[in-house]
Amino acid sequence: MLWSNVSPNSLALYANGFWANIITCHTPTATIILLATPTTAPSAAKCKPDRLAVIIIGIVTLILGIVLSSIPWLDYFILKNLRLWNDTLSYHYWQRPGVIRLTKVYIYNVTNPDGFLSGEKPKLQEVGPFVYREDMEKVNVKFHENNLTVSYQHKKILQFVPELSIDKNTPIVTPNIPLLTLTSLSPKLGYLLSKTISVVLTAAKFKPFINVTADQLVFGYDDALVSLAHRFYPKHMRPMERMGLLLGRNGTLTEVSTIKTGYNGMEQFGYIDSLNGMDHLPHWNEPPCTSIAGSEGSFFPPRDITKSDMVHVYDKDLCRIIPLKYVERVQKDGIDADLFRLPNNSYGDSTNNPDNKCYDTNDYEAIRGLQNISPCQYGAPVYISNPHFYDAHPELLNEVEGLEPRREKHETYFKIQPKLGVPLEGKVRIQLNLKVTRAKDVYPVRDFRDFVFPVMWLEEGISELTPAIKRWIYLATVIAPNAVPVGSYLLIAGGAFAIVFSLVRAYKSYMFARDPTLEILEMGRRSLRRGSSFVAHQQHKLMLHHRDNYALLRTMPHAMSACMGEADREDVQPIIDSSLRDNVISMES
């Protein structure tokens, strides 16, 4: 908008491509400001470039908001980064979790070994915990077959945590596992060989119970029978050089595992595909006992995708996969999680669970809650159960003294995030038992009756994730699902507002273009409201000398007649209305 002096009593105003005259008229009673309407009107309104840009941006924003609110792009983004591949967030979490993984060991101390040999119930005293922190990483990682699977080896280092444990040198009285393993096999060897074994063991002064420290029982002690077995047993059945319940857990494991990365579907995500090149467990004869389709504990198939109420965990030391059944939806640190528990018929006889039939052997009488794992324990009659015979047949618990099964302390469970399949918390609790068969022809153990003897139980798992992993999960499962819809709706609202606002402005411009006087009047009124009118500041001769009287043209027809002739009246309009009069007067004051 431009202003120009035409004469001492008039100004020229340029706006929207047209000139209009501002005429001042002085009368004895008032000073009148008039607008002369232009005589030429534009042929058409033009759309300004900046307004067109706003409309385009609004359309793009609106479309983007609609698209983002219509497609599950967030789920796609999460799943894309959840699949295992080099340098992804999930890969770093899987390859070296960084979580505090603890192994707690509880050992049963036999307080009446002589009384047991005389026919009493064994009196067991739980000693522990002995806590070990497990630093774990996956080494020799190699991706295969278009990233569908990845192979690796476990590297584990168990470090004793004294502040969470009792003294690891605590003395323990426990069954002599190597001796009882040998004597339990002797009835199958015949009378003559059994007597030979009896003479040798008697001469070497072997006893059915031994005194060791907790650390020795867990991480190994020298034993003559184990040394002999290591030297003469076939290679595929050869035990370690020393006797130790967790001896094979330290260092890089020889077993090569291959798991599914999720690139061909999340239904088997994180499940084992092969072990040492085999797609089944060689210890059993038929499925489902031979199945290895279970998680090693880092990832599970997301339940939001699979809709399945069962997941499985594989543990090398258990010689099988463990089923976990969905129970309910819970929360862990403000994050949704699915609670899975071990079904009470997982271990034991096929009467309660037909899938257990393939675990039964000819010389084993199946009992609810007791599972044979001797094929992968070098033939030793080792059986697993829940700690303290929780959920097992009452007969097992009645045979001993000192056990008190409790769900909150002895059950196996996992809390798994349903969208990601990441375990937020999980505990695997297993009791190792020695099933002894009486060998009446072997003198050192002749009084050791048929018995399922609890030796120890352990708890493995995690209670908390690291803060970094927890923040990532919280962002992906809590913040993002709530923030993304809000952002999409804001984009839709913002885009719609920009389009409507620009169209309204364009309509007003079109109307002003048809009658430029309207726009000029509007500009003049804005200028007067801001107190910065050119008339007030540049034409001070009009305002300073005649500030006393201002009046509207429509209220003073006689003044207009005094200022101009009849021919000019049709082209003149007042630009000061009654609502602005007081503002002008106060401005001049």
Answer for the pair 551, 30: CB distance below 8 angstroms, yes or no: yes
**What does the pLDDT average to over 390-414?**
93
The answer to whether the Cα torsion of 564, 569, 574, 578 is positive or negative is: positive
Q: Would you place residue 186 in the very low, low, confident or very high pLDDT band (cuts 50, 70, 90)?
A: confident
Q: Would you place residue 572 in the very low, low, confident or very high pLDDT band (cuts 50, 70, 90)?
A: very low
- pLDDT of 504 reads 79
Q: Would you place residue 330 in the very low, low, confident or very high pLDDT band (cuts 50, 70, 90)?
A: very high
Distance (Å, rounded) from C-alpha 542 to C-alpha 563?
A: 15
The answer to whether the Cα torsion of 198, 202, 205, 211 is positive or negative is: positive
Instruction: Please give the residue that has the higher pLDDT: either 573 or 332.
Output: 332
Helix (H) or strand (E) segment spanning residue 113? helix 113-117
Helix (H) or strand (E) segment spanning residue 135? strand 124-144
Residue 173's DSSP bridge partners are 211
Tally: H helices and E strands in the chain: 19, 20
The model's pLDDT over 210-251, given as tens digits with 9 standing for 90+, comes to 999 999 998 888 888 887 777 766 666 667 778 888 777 777
Boundaries of every domain in the chain: 50-98+467-511, 99-465
Q: Around 31, how many Cα atoms within 13 Å sit in the side-chain half-sphere? A: 21
Report the candidate in 157, 152, 162, 115 with the shortest Cα–Cα distance to residue 135: 157
Give alpha helix (H) positions in 243-374. Answer: 303-306
- pLDDT of 291 reads 92
Is pLDDT above 50 for 550? no
- pLDDT of 201 reads 83
Helix (H) or strand (E) segment spanning residue 54? helix 49-70
The model's pLDDT over 420-456, given as tens digits with 9 standing for 90+, comes to 999 999 999 999 999 888 888 788 888 888 889 999 9
- pLDDT of 233 reads 65
**What does the pLDDT average to over 542-557?**
43
Residue 325's DSSP bridge partners are 310, 341
Instruction: Please give the residue that has the higher pLDDT: either 445 or 573.
Output: 445
**In whole angstroms, how far apart are CA 129 and each of 51, 92, 96, 440?**
74, 31, 26, 36
Residues 6+ apart with CB under 8 A from 535: 11, 22, 24, 33, 542, 543
**What does the pLDDT average to over 137-146?**
88
DSSP per position, 236-276: GG---SSB-TTGGGSEEEEEEEEEE-STT-STTTTBEEEET
Distance (Å, rounded) from C-alpha 568 to C-alpha 318?
A: 108
Answer for the pair 498, 57: CB distance below 8 angstroms, yes or no: yes
Is pLDDT above 80 for 577? no
Is pLDDT above 70 for 585? no
Q: Would you place residue 209 in the very low, low, confident or very high pLDDT band (cuts 50, 70, 90)?
A: very high
Distance (Å, rounded) from C-alpha 452 to C-alpha 126?
A: 17
Report the candidate in 60, 49, 175, 163 with the shortest Cα–Cα distance to residue 122: 175
Question: Looking up tokens 């002599």, which residue turns up?
Answer: 176
Residues 6+ apart with CB under 8 A from 442: 183, 186, 194, 197, 198, 201
Instruction: Please give the residue that has the higher pLDDT: either 289 or 64.
Output: 289
Burial 30-65 (b: 16+ CB within 10 A, else e): bbbbbbbbbeeeeeebeeeeeeeebbeebeebbeeb
Is pLDDT above 70 for 151? yes
Is pLDDT above 70 for 571? no
Is pLDDT above 50 for 285? yes
Distance (Å, rounded) from C-alpha 211 to C-alpha 107?
A: 13
Distance (Å, rounded) from C-alpha 169 to C-alpha 127?
A: 11
Instruction: Please give the residue that has the higher pLDDT: either 571 or 342.
Output: 342
Q: Would you place residue 559 in the very low, low, confident or very high pLDDT band (cuts 50, 70, 90)?
A: very low
The model's pLDDT over 293-322, given as tens digits with 9 standing for 90+, comes to 999 888 999 999 999 999 999 988 788 899
The model's pTM is 0.74
Is pLDDT above 90 for 92? no
- pLDDT of 235 reads 64
Is pLDDT above 90 for 511? no
- pLDDT of 41 reads 44
- pLDDT of 418 reads 94
The model's pLDDT over 13-57, given as tens digits with 9 standing for 90+, comes to 444 444 445 555 555 554 444 444 444 444 444 556 776 777 788
